């Protein structure tokens, strides 16, 4: 407990602190622990006294001295100061606002508990103070829609998560939409926002395919979507997911994670191949061929980059891809090769002729032979490369 040896008469604090400033500054130069405790007591008294009318300059000075004590002093001084301010947790609004704008160590309890702070006060503090202040506000027992909207503007996933988990928070449609958008890329938000009473069926559907299977199941039980709506939402989610990772399209690590995401949702199919190629997802294309044909990715890389076109034909034919889709795939896949990316008409003609001659059963037999013994692939690739080198 701080022992305050300086007695302040109410009449001396009814206008300003200018008469007290020299004493405060003198205390600030006393580096002994007793002196620091004395200063802490004086500062807390100034901030908490309802008759202290502080100018902006004076309030800034006192706040700076408090911050210095909290930042640079030992544990006993910091705890003593914090303990003094904790006594004012239910202070009148003017004092509460003053404390709430101070360092978070003295402001936290006021921000979390004080009921005299208005929505305007909380919104102002959210917008003007560091995120620690907003985190404390997000933990209040009751939060209005206006305050929740202000907390959304911080963009902090931690703050959004606290608000979503806070059953005393009231969320506007705007706040729900902000959280739904953020939850697509942040798993920490997904469970709490899907449990919110304000969540509508439409908003939940926009998030449905972005969450894990257990959360999808719970959402389905709550809203009962039909299959047609689920399929349409999945198509949209996949398109947005591909676009979101376009700048990582050359990264094997990122594309393998993306492939896992698609596969978990049964979306890694031949239907997806043309749109992924149109976006330039060549690594994802190879990964898709690898998984659908059950061949090593390194082998698929050789087939698509170095070997002759009949191997790509066999891979597509074994997956029952029709002729029109194959031609589109063949032309677009050329963009992923390291050499010249323009398809020669003769190359396309040979690929189409091979496609016509090769039945799905024959193609599957070829792919099966490559699973057992891939040496034929490497031999053909080496021969093709030798031909290119000689040319």
Q: Model confidence over 107-157: pLDDT tens digits?
A: 898 899 999 899 999 999 999 999 999 999 999 999 999 999 999 999 999
Mutual angle of helices 33-48 and 93-100, in 10-degree steps: 140
Mean pLDDT of 213-225: 94
* pLDDT higher than 80, residue 4: no
CA dist 17 and 15 (Å) reads 7
User: Which pLDDT band holds residue 65 (cuts at 50, 70, 90)?
Assistant: low
User: Which pLDDT band holds residue 9 (cuts at 50, 70, 90)?
Assistant: very low
Per-residue model confidence (pLDDT) at position 125: 95
By the 8 A CB rule, do 314 and 292 touch?
no
Return the higher-pLDDT residue of 215 and 387: 215
Least confident interval from 34-38, 83-87, 189-193, 379-383: 34-38
CA dist 166 and 170 (Å) reads 9
User: Which pLDDT band holds residue 96 (cuts at 50, 70, 90)?
Assistant: confident
Task: Tell me the average pLDDT of the chain.
Answer: 83
Q: Rounded to whole angstroms, what are the CA distances from 271 to 139, 236, 268, 285, 361?
A: 46, 14, 8, 12, 20
Per-residue model confidence (pLDDT) at position 335: 72
User: Which pLDDT band holds residue 377 (cuts at 50, 70, 90)?
Assistant: confident
User: Which pLDDT band holds residue 11 (cuts at 50, 70, 90)?
Assistant: very low
pTM of the complete model:
0.71
Residues 340-372 have pLDDT tens digits of 555 667 878 888 999 999 999 999 999 999 999
Determine whether 29 is exposed, middle or buried from the number of CB atoms within 10 Å of its CB (0-12, 13-18, 19+). Answer: exposed
Tokens of 98: 């003053």
């Amino acid at each position: 407990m701080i022992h305050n040896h300086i007695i302040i008469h109410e009449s001396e604090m009814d206008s300003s602190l200018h008469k007290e400033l020299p004493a405060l500054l003198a205390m600030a130069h006393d580096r002994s622990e007793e002196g620091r405790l004395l200063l802490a007591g004086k500062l807390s008294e100034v901030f908490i006294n309802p008759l202290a009318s502080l100018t902006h300059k004076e309030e800034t000075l006192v706040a700076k001295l408090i911050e210095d004590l909290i930042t640079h002093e030992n544990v006993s001084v910091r705890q003593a100061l914090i303990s003094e301010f904790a006594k004012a947790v239910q202070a009148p609004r003017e004092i509460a606002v003053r404390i709430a704008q101070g360092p978070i160590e003295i402001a936290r309890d006021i921000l979390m508990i004080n009921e005299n702070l208005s929505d305007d006060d909380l919104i102002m503090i959210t917008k003007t103070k560091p995120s620690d202040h907003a985190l404390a506000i997000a933990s209040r027992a009751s939060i209005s829609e206006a305050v929740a909207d202000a907390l959304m503007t911080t963009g902090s996933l931690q703050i959004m998560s606290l608000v979503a988990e806070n059953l005393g928070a009231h969320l506007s449609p705007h706040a729900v939409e902000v959280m739904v958008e953020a939850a697509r890329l942040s798993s920490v938000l997904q469970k709490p926002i899907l449990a919110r009473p304000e969540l509508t069926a439409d908003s939940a559907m926009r998030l449905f395919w972005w969450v894990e299977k257990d959360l999808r199941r719970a959402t389905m039980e709550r809203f009962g979507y039909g299959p047609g709506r689920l399929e349409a939402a999945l198509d949209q989610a996949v398109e947005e997911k591909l676009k979101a990772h376009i700048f990582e399209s050359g990264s094997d690590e990122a594309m393998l994670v993306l492939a896992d995401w698609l596969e978990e949702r049964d979306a890694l199919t031949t239907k997806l191949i043309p749109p992924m190629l149109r976006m330039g997802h060549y690594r994802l294309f190879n990964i898709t061929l690898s998984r659908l044909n059950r061949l090593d990715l390194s082998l698929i890389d050789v087939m698509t980059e170095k070997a002759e076109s009949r191997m790509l034909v066999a891979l597509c034919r074994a997956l029952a891809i029709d002729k029109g889709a194959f031609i589109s795939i063949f032309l677009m896949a050329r963009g992923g090769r390291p050499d010249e990316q323009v398809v020669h008409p003769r190359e396309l003609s040979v690929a189409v002729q091979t496609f016509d001659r090769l039945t799905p059963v024959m193609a599957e037999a070829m792919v099966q032979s490559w699973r057992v013994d891939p040496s034929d692939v490497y031999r053909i690739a080496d021969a093709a490369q030798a031909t290119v080198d000689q040319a």
